Structure 1
Amino acid sequence: MSSFSYKQSVPSEWVDYNGHMNDAEYNRAFSLATDAFIDWIGLDEKGREQYQYTMFTLETHTCYLKEMHEGADFNVSARVLDFDAKRIHLFLEMHNADGEVAATLEEMLMGIDQNEGRPAPFPEEVANNMKAEYEKTSDQEQPKQVGRTIGIRRK
């Protein structure tokens, strides 16, 4: 399993009129965790400057599984499901204090050359770090939320 972890508590301003964390705030938490993961693999502020390289989000899919309330601690883990020279297929799980999965986010990220403003291959160190993260979980079964589509199931 990845040793990456992003920890936080639900601030009061993230709680909506239903008394739990608003859906947009789950996505904010996942976005903050994604940024932390990108830092983790070598594209922190120093890496972005050194390589003149950054990451853009192309697509996301969020599943809301458990309510999170004000002050509740949570932990987000990240798993590289797949990658190529320029893209990362990333899966994030938000766990509550009891270790239950509260939400998931599946996303596709694209590496961007900041000078060109176009997709470009990952810097070698970043690619190596990503490959190492991928290999930690590549033999595990895919989470059931991966690849889901939205639609009404008919009998």
Structure 2
Amino acid sequence: MSDNAVPTPQAAGPFRSSIMQVEPQWIDYNGHLNMAYYNVMFDRAIDQLWAELGIGPAYMKERQGSTFTAECHVRYLREIHLGDPVEIAVWLIAADEKRLHTFEELRHADEGWVSATSENMSIHIDMTRRKVAPFPTDIQQSIGRMLQAHAALPLPEGLGRAIGMPRKKD
């Protein structure tokens, strides 16, 4: 789908990325996927979602708008290894005129278990001024359609988690 396409709401489930493979240079000395590369795969999935919403590379080139990540919380739940196929599910949790709140699950594509999650706040940037700015109306409408479709889905496990030491019971 092109950057300027109108997405079809995916009420049956969250947005799903293409299947990706863990690359050899991403494996660390522990023999598993290095933490930094989880973010690479999450980012690739977001790029695919942004293209569905009309805010991918063509949007940047033609309309001088883009998104920056303002906040990110990653949870590493199970190891991924070299050669493992992965797919990322993305929920659009909330949005306003300048921000997008997303939640992603990185799953083993064959076996279905969750390896990691990433919760993010992205902001829309007017790249001519490099300042936060509202999305154009047509993009807000595209976002609104997906947001409405995703609002019908159950919330993903782990949404809204904060980092902290477990409290001891008295």
TM over 0.5: yes
What TM-score does the superposition give when structure 2 sets the normalisation length? 0.85
Q: Say which SS state the counterpart of residue 48 (structure 2) adopts.
A: helix
Distance change in 2, residues 1:35/1:3 (3 Å): closer
1:151 corresponds to 2:164: yes
Give the aligned partner of residue 141 of structure 2: 128
Counterpart residue type for residue 116 of structure 1: R
39-48 vs 71-80, greater mean Cα deviation? 39-48
Unaligned runs of 5+ in 2: 1-12
- CA–CA distance in 1 between the matches of 2:38 and 2:57? 24
State the 1:141 CA deviation: 3.2
Structure 2 counterpart of 1:134, one-letter code? L
Alignment partner, residue 77 of structure 1 = 89
Structure 1: tracts of 5 or more residues without a match = none
Residue 139 of structure 1, CA deviation: 2.7
Aligned-residue offset at 1:134: 1.3
Give the aligned residue type for 2:104.
Answer: L
Offset from partner CA, 1:29-70 (integer Å, 9 cap, x none): 112222222222111222222221110100000011111110
**In 2, Cα distance between the equivalents of 1:98 and 1:123?**
40
State whether structure 2 residue 152 is matched by structure 1 residue 139.
yes
Q: Structure 1 residue runs of 4+, over 6 Å off? A: none
Residue aligning to 2:37 = 25
* Superposition CA RMSD, Å: 1.4
The separation in 2 between residues aligned to 1:68 and 1:4, in whole angstroms, is: 18
- Please list, as runs of the form range in 1=range in 2, the aligned pairs for 1:28-107 lying within 5 A after superposition: 28-96=40-108, 97-107=110-120
1: CA distance, partners of 2:95 / 2:15: 18
How many residues are aligned here?
155
Deviates most, 100-109 or 116-125: 116-125
TM-score (norm 1): 0.93
Aligned equivalents of 2:27, 2:165: Cα separation in 1 = 28
SS at match of 2:50: helix
What's 1:111 paired with?
A: 124
Amino acid at match of 1:145: G
Identical-pair percentage:
33
Q: What is the CA-CA distance between 1:129 and the residue it aligns to? A: 1.8
Distance 1:13 1:45 in 2: 26
Query: SS at the partner of 1:110?
Result: strand
